[in-house]
């Protein structure tokens, strides 16, 4: 490809909204352009890189028995209603009506469509196991798109779906994906770790996320170096130290002016925060069949801990959570800043003129073991000493709702947990019968018994992976693409100046020879200064740069430079193709050698 003909343009400055390196460089190097918030066009350089990423995915999926198909991006709502995700997913789902006034869905994922295919075409155990996959556009109307391609609304995903007759078959396909995903990320030049994660809207029995560790990540991971425990903070467990046993003491109301925070309360009473009860009010949306109910949630945990909203949502089986408004808290007789579970519900409910939401009290599983805590008194400026769970109040739900934090004890070995930030680049789910049962996906086994198909779901976003590669491989001058995903192998630069006619002729000849040898070449044939050409070559970041100049020709060849190295050397004219091919092969081998078998973390 001649750079003079390329539909792209490099920029000296990045747009103001581009805050992270990958976003800045992909825009400046002419790979992407933003159409709207979270919606991007991929220009020719990006498209070539994405095609290589997706072909790596294809190779690894095919290697474990995958068959590629294509499924629609627009779905009839009836499918999502059958699975009940139509009712469980909020405004991030793209809903619209067709011209016949039928409800339709823009695909976020394709479990429902796969289930529909399975119930139409799979009838016997002889048709199982199977593995299908596709690479397709998805839509998720994220309210906070950010960081370029890291968090978008329209995206392309490789999603695969395993179909098995039993759980052992699912285990086998899940583990095959577990390894295949590590292979994909290694081949793309991105080191990742696998962590246990929340199953979220996908449902099922088990999930892992593949995390690229980086300070720009919006996920917090809890890791143990001693035993290898790794989990997303959304579900991370930790060892909770049981408090010293005490006899329950008599309730005592004490004045605590201007102590609306746990820190202020503990300081005023000269007690540790672990001797206080923290009150957090949320409003939950909970599906009840085809209806959605809103409930006011009163969550209580020890004052030295933080609420984990994902754990709370899972305990409630809630679709969404939001912080409660003061008027909603007041409606059940509680006082913001001084709220107490003592007396709620009961005589406290209904004090407000407005009808309160149904109330659900949820306590962290350490609360029943924590005697004589200080909690609010539901009166401004007052708290209650010696509040004891069971004696003074009850909860509908007791569950682990506390967030693991840096320095907590590992749940498996007792070692010290530490936190790191990460970007999720892939995920795998054991769906089990989550979709098969409500959608009637069954097969007949050897004994003629009808059984549900056991499913798994596995996804990688190619655009996000492109951004993570760029985030990992760059310097102050621009991108540095791994050879496996680079848009082109060679950036050929022709410099005008002394002997420019000869330079032009040699550059054209070398361009033709490299392409004939099967090498992918981006040829900078523009009438620009050497500085502009070299800056653009560094910005675009192809693995190898060849410079044809009068000076190099006088030395018998062309200048060779790897993008990831500072050294330059002259390649003899007769050996250019041979040596460039050898260098590309060497770079390919380096990446291939990174493929190792990874132990499965169940």
Q: What is the CA radius of gyration of the chain?
A: 30
Share of the chain above pLDDT 90, in %: 83
Residue 323 has pLDDT above 60, yes or no: yes
| pLDDT at res. 292 | 78
| pLDDT at res. 347 | 38
Q: What is the 3-state secondary structure (H, E, C) of 484-541?
A: CCCCCCEEEEECCCCCHHHHHHHHHHHHHHHHHCCCCEEEECCCCCHHHHHHHHHHHC
The pTM of this model reads 0.88
| pLDDT at res. 178 | 96
Domain residue ranges in the chain: 17-236+418-471, 252-399, 488-592
Report CA-CA distances (Å) from 248 to 114, 252, 276, 340, 389.
56, 12, 15, 18, 10
CA torsion 37→95→323→295, rounded to 10°? Answer: 180
**Per-residue pLDDT averaged across 182-188, rounded?**
97
- Class of 252-399 in CATH: alpha beta
Q: What tokens appear for 439 in the block?
A: 């959608």
HSE-up (13 A, CA, CB side) for residue 351: 17
pLDDT in tens, 206-240: 889 999 999 999 899 999 999 989 999 988 999 99
**8 Å CB contact between 565 and 549:** no
Residue 63 sits at φ, ψ, to 5 deg, of -65, -25
| pLDDT at res. 566 | 93
Residue 355 has pLDDT above 70, yes or no: no
Whole-number Å distance between alpha carbons of 110 and 350: 45
DSSP state of 402: B
Q: How confident is the model at residue 203 (pLDDT cuts 50, 70, 90)?
A: low
Q: Bridge-partner residues for 136, per DSSP? A: 157
| pLDDT at res. 350 | 37
| pLDDT at res. 348 | 40
Mean pLDDT of the chain: 93
Taking each helix axis as running N to C, give the angle between helix 21-28 and helix 462-472, from 0 to 180 degrees, rounded to the nearest 10.
100
Q: How confident is the model at residue 200 (pLDDT cuts 50, 70, 90)?
A: low
Q: What tokens appear for 36 in the block?
A: 């709207």
Q: How confident is the model at residue 282 (pLDDT cuts 50, 70, 90)?
A: very high
Whole-number Å distance between alpha carbons of 467 and 40: 12
Domain 17-236+418-471 has CATH 3.30.70.1290: no
Which residue stretches of 188-308 are H helix?
A: 262-269
Whole-number Å distance between alpha carbons of 464 and 455: 25
- Class of 488-592 in CATH: alpha beta
Which of 111 and 502 is assigned the larger pLDDT?
Answer: 111
Whole-number Å distance between alpha carbons of 223 and 231: 7
Taking each helix axis as running N to C, give the angle between helix 167-187 and helix 44-63, from 0 to 180 degrees, rounded to the nearest 10.
140
Residue 202 has pLDDT above 60, yes or no: no
| pLDDT at res. 479 | 98
HSE-up (13 A, CA, CB side) for residue 590: 10
**Per-residue pLDDT averaged across 289-296, rounded?**
81
Q: What tokens appear for 237 in the block?
A: 């467990």
| pLDDT at res. 353 | 47
Residue 556 has pLDDT above 80, yes or no: yes
Contacts 24+ apart (CB under 8 A), 574-581: 576/510, 576/513, 576/514, 576/546, 577/513, 577/514, 577/517, 577/519, 580/489, 580/490, 580/514, 580/519, 580/544, 580/546, 581/517, 581/519
**8 Å CB contact between 576 and 544:** no
Q: Is the dihedral of CA 515, 519, 520, 525 positive or negative?
A: negative
Q: What angle do CA 287, 292, 296 make, to 5 degrees?
A: 90
């Amino acid at each position: 490809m001649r750079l003079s003909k390329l539909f792209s343009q490099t920029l000296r400055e990045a747009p103001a909204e581009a805050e992270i390196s990958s976003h800045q460089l992909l825009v400046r190097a002419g790979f992407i352009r933003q159409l709207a918030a979270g919606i991007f066009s991929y220009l020719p350089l990006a498209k070539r890189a994405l095609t290589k990423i997706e072909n790596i995915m294809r190779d690894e999926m095919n290697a474990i028995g995958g068959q590629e198909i294509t499924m629609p991006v627009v779905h009839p709502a009836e499918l999502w209603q059958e699975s009940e995700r139509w009712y469980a997913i909020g405004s991030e789902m793209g809903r619209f009506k067709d011209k016949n006034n039928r409800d339709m869905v823009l695909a976020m994922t394709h479990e429902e469509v796969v289930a529909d295919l399975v119930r139409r075409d799979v009838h016997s155990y002889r048709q199982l196991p199977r593995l299908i996959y596709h690479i397709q556009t998805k839509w998720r109307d994220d309210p906070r798109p950010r960081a370029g391609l890291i968090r978008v609304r329209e995206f392309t995903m490789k999603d695969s779906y395993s179909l098995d007759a039993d759980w052992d078959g699912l285990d086998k396909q899940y583990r095959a994906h577990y390894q295949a995903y590590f292979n994909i990320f290694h081949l793309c030049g991105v080191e990742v770790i696998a962590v246990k994660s929340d199953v979220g809207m996908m449902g099922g029995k088990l999930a892992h996320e593949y995390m690229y560790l980086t300070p720009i990540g919006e996920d917090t991971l809890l890791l143990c170096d001693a035993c290898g425990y790794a989990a997303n903070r959304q579900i991370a467990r930790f060892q909770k130290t049981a408090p010293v046993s005490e006899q329950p003491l008599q309730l005592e109301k004490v004045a605590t002016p201007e102590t609306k925070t746990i820190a202020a309360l503990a300081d005023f009473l000269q007690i540790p925060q672990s001797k206080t009860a923290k009150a957090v009010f949320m409003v939950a949306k909970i599906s009840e069949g085809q209806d959605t109910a809103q409930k006011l949630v009163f969550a209580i945990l020890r004052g030295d801990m933080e609420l984990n909203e994902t754990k709370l949502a899972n305990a409630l089986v809630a679709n969404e959570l939001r912080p409660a408004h003061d008027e909603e808290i007041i409606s059940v007789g509680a006082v913001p800043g001084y709220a107490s579970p003592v007396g709620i519900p009961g005589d406290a409910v209904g004090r407000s003129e407005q009808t309160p939401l149904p109330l659900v009290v949820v306590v962290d599983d350490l609360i029943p073991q924590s005697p004589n805590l200080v909690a609010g008194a539901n009166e401004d400026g007052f708290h209650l000493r010696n509040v004891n769970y069971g004696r003074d109040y009850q909860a509908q739900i007791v569950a682990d709702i506390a967030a693991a934090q840096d320095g907590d004890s590992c749940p498996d070995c007792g070692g010290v947990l530490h936190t790191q930030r990460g970007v999720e680049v892939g995920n795998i789910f054991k769906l089990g019968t989550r979709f098969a049962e409500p959608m009637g996906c069954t097969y007949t086994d050897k004994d003629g018994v009808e059984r549900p198909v056991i499913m798994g779901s596995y996804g990688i976003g190619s655009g996000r992976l492109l951004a993570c590669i760029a985030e990992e491989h760059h310097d102050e001058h621009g991108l540095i693409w791994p050879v496996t995903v680079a848009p082109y192998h060679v950036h050929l630069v022709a410099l005008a100046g002394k002997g420019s006619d000869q330079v032009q002729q040699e550059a054209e000849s070398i361009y033709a020879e490299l392409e004939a040898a099967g090498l992918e070449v981006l040829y900078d044939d523009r009438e620009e200064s050497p500085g502009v050409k070299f800056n653009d070559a560094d910005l675009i970041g192809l693995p190898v740069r060849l410079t044809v100049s009068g000076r190099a020709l006088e030395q018998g060849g062309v200048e060779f430079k790897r993008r990831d190295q500072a050294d330059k050397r002259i390649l003899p004219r007769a050996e250019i193709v041979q040596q460039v091919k050898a260098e590309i092969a060497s770079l390919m081998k380096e990446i291939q050698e990174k493929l190792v078998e990874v132990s499965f973390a169940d």
